[in-house]
Structures are given as C-alpha cells and as structure tokens.
Structure 1
Amino acid sequence: MAEAFKNVTPSQGDYEVREWALFTGSAPLFLYLSEHIQSEGKSRAVNNRAIRVATFVGFFSGFIFSYNRSSKRFQGVVENQREVEKDRYEIKSLLAQGKKPYGETDLPPWIQRIAAKNSTYSSTFNHIFPWFNLVHHEYHGIDLRKYYEVREGEEKWGFNLEWPEKQE
C-alpha cells in the first residue's frame, strides 16, 4: 500500500472526515438547488445519472480536500504535534525491533530515488493531478539520529536505543 497514503489517511481527524462527508453531500444538493432555481421554482426531477456523477465528484473532491489537509499536518506545514509523537513512537518501535524504519523493498535504489522525487510534495497539486507514493524507499531526508534521543515524555515508552557504531 502507498507509504504516504497509509500514513496520511488514518491520521485524518474527525474534522477532515466531516469535511469529506460535507463535500460528498453538497454536490448532489447543489445539483438539486440549481435545477430548482433554473426551473423557476417548479419541481422537476433530476436525472439519476447526474445525481450519481455529482455524488462521485463530491466524494472524490472531499477525499482530495481532506487528504491534502492531513498531508499539510503530516508534513509540518500546519500544527502537527499528534503526528510528531505518533511518528516518533512508530519509528522508535521499528528501530528497537531491528527493522528498517521506512519498510522493506525489492526495488533497485534508482527506482526508489525516482519514486521519492516524484512524490515528495505531490500532495501540493493533488487537486490537479492526484499522485500517491506506492513505493517504500529510504530517501526521506531525515537523520535517524533524532530517533535515538529521548525527549520529554518518551521515557515511558521503554525504548533504550543506542546509535549503532557501524552507521557513523
């Protein structure tokens, strides 16, 4: 599954899900209202196919809108304390288990670099061209040393990580 998709979608809060639902419901409602206004108040039935298309457009637009909002939080563009704590716990947990923090892949490094370059800020223009990261890669531009530090409140997690000498 997509690395970014898997990280961003579950982190959508109730607010983003409500916005998504609002988009989904508002598109067919807008269609009904515009038909009512255009017909000068006379009741006219709206084509079922048009309602289905409007609902799909609203659903897709709402998803992209809420995904972009979550992506901004995930990337640190807006307040993201919850994501920082969750990320630190998940990465420290993987490092404590001896696993790679960003997943395993069989792809050659050059394909991983291309995937990383293509998807780094893809959420910026998701409303124009939706592009999700489908590749596990190690090109996140993050120094893993920060995960070996113990910040306030992290003592209770019980991870006693030490920087491996072979990585220095």
Structure 2
Amino acid sequence: MVAEDQTTFIPAKRPNTDYPLIDSDPHWRRAFAYSRREDWLEGAGLAAFAPAFLLLTERYAPSFSGKGAFPPVFRLGVGIGILGGIGLVYQKSCLRLYGWTENEREQQMDMREMVDKVKKGEPLYGASDLTPYHQGIAARNSRYSALLFHIVPWANFVNHNQHGVDTAKYYQQAERELEAERLGKATR
C-alpha cells in the first residue's frame, strides 16, 4: 500500500488587534511601498542618531586615539545608523499591515492594488518558482517576523499565497467594479 501525498495547510494564527489584518507576511517590497512619509522621517532621525552621537562624544570626550582612528569608526556608525533607520521604516510599515496600528490608508491601498490585479488576471501576491511546499516553509519562517526585527532582521523575500487574509473580498470588489463599468457603458 502506497501512502498518499497529503498536504496539510495550517492557517496563520490571527492575534486580536484593534485594526483589520491586511497581510500577516508582507513581501519586503510591499512593506516599503506601503510605508508613510512619517516612517521615513523617523527612520532618517534614527539613522542620523548614531553619527551625531559619535561626533558629540568625540567633541566633548575625545578618545585621543590618533588622527586616523575616528573616520573608520564614524563610517561604521553611519552604516549602522542607516541600517537601523531602514529597519525602523520596515517594522513600522509591517505593524500597520499586521493591524497593530492604525491602517486605514493601507486598507485602501491594498484593496486598490489587489482589485487591479484581479481585473488583470494576475496572481494576487506575485508568481513564484518555488514549490508550494517551499513557499509554505518560507511563509512560516517569515510570518510576523517584523515583531522581532530589532533582534533578528528577517523579512519575506518569497512570493506565496499564505498571507492570513481571505482573498474573496478582492474578487467580490472586482466583480462589483466590473459590473458598475458594464452598466455605465450600457447607459451611454
């Protein structure tokens, strides 16, 4: 007797949040595309903190380590600051997509983006060359990963269809819009 290949799909656990879930595992491009101006301003402030702190401490408490010692340390501080700022932007955007913070703007952007994809016949979350098994592994490894991004910087780089959202709402909205367009053309 041959064992049958069975794939078991375990849906993502949905935490109770004050705002609706948009995506439990956003692709990194989507997280940055949905970021707000204030996210980038906060990220720039964090990025500027490390070099500013190094300059301030060198000014008021010099290290006396020689002329060539400070520039490499300063460049390292700039790099760490930039990575920290980008990480903050990613994390704040993901928290809105998770529904942990106010996300009305992102809900509208999500609905528009997904309905447009439905109308064009494109896959909602992009096409992938990976097998469904590997897509599932990638989804389980990166789902809600932005919550601990400051400890383990992990993001979703794989297109898959496991995002913890009922996609029927996108198809229903697309049907309503197509019907409205059809009726609008018929009355002309």
With structure 1 as the length reference, what TM-score do the two structures score?
0.80
Q: Which of 79, 92, 109 is residue 69 of structure 1 equivalent to?
A: 92
Question: Aligned-pair distance for 1:141?
Answer: 2.4
Match of 1:9 in 2: 32
Match of 1:88 in 2: 111
Q: Is the contact between residue 27 and residue 159 of structure 2 (CA under 8 Å) also seen in structure 1? A: no
Between the two structures, name the one with larger relative contact order (CA 8 Å, sep ≥ 6). 2
The code of the aligned residue for 2:40 comes to V
Match of 1:134 in 2: 157
Deviates more, 1:52-61 or 1:97-106: 97-106
1:58 aligns with 2:105: no
Give the match's secondary structure for 1:137: coil
Match of 2:134 in 1: 111
The alignment-based identity, stated in percent, is: 32
Match of 1:19 in 2: 42
Once superposed, what is the RMSD of the aligned Cα atoms?
2.6
**Offset from partner CA, 1:112-142 (integer Å, 9 cap, x none):** 1001101111111111111111111111222
Q: Is the contact between residue 42 and residue 89 of structure 2 (CA under 8 Å) also seen in structure 1? A: yes
1:121 and 1:108 map into 2 onto residues whose CA distance is 22
2:100 and 2:167 map into 1 onto residues whose CA distance is 21
The code of the aligned residue for 1:10 comes to A
1:141 and 1:127 map into 2 onto residues whose CA distance is 23
Question: Aligned-pair distance for 1:38?
Answer: 2.0
Q: Is the contact between residue 23 and residue 61 of structure 1 (CA under 8 Å) also seen in structure 2? A: yes
1:73 and 1:31 map into 2 onto residues whose CA distance is 32
With structure 2 as the length reference, what TM-score do the two structures score?
0.72
Question: Aligned-pair distance for 1:35?
Answer: 2.1
The code of the aligned residue for 2:94 comes to S
Match of 1:121 in 2: 144
Q: How many residues of Structure 1 are paired with residues of Structure 2 in the alignment?
A: 153
Give the match's secondary structure for 2:33: coil
Give the match's secondary structure for 2:27: helix
The code of the aligned residue for 1:63 comes to I
Unmatched runs of 5 consecutive residues or more in structure 1: 162-168
2:179 and 2:162 map into 1 onto residues whose CA distance is 25
